[in-house]
Amino acid sequence: MEKIKLKFVYEHKWIDHPLDVNLFIDDRLIFSGIGKADELITIDKKIAIESGKHMLKLQIKGKNQMNTKVNSLNEVISDSVITIKECSMDDINLESMITLNGVFHHDQGDSLPKIKELGHNGTWELPFSVPLYNWLLEELF
């Protein structure tokens, strides 16, 4: 078993009511919260984890019509979103891995790759492996 240092930062912008946000590694809950409007939420933890393949997951729930304001032309003028600001493991910035391998699975069935702004109910996923250095070398080179 290894220990990894996980740092995950997201911005929570909301109107009417906050969205429910849960962070998992595989099916293990790492963080659960709602946060305050326009606040940066920082999750900074040491995680014991087995070697092998894993999935970092950010689950968003609780969004409804009240979280989106539209004008008379039905154009969005204000919306509730979660924006991933930083993701690192063992002080290694994973920005390039989010671009390469991150996918958001909308609860309605659509999958959106390479995004960091999440405005629907669903789950964003980033596959990774431990040991981290071996995984990064395999993925990037």
What are the pLDDT tens digits along the chain (141 aa)? 899 999 999 999 999 899 999 999 999 999 998 767 778 999 999 999 999 999 999 999 999 999 999 999 989 899 999 999 999 999 999 998 998 899 999 998 899 999 999 999 999 999 999 999 999 888 877
User: Is the preceding omega at residue 113 within 30 degrees of 0, hence cis?
Assistant: no
| CATH number of the domain within which 75 lies | 2.60.60.40
Report pTM: 0.92
Quote the domain boundaries for residue 103.
Answer: 2-140
Total residue length of the chain: 141
Look at the chain and report how many structural domains it folds into: 1
3-state helix, strand, coil in the chain (%, to 5): 15, 55, 30
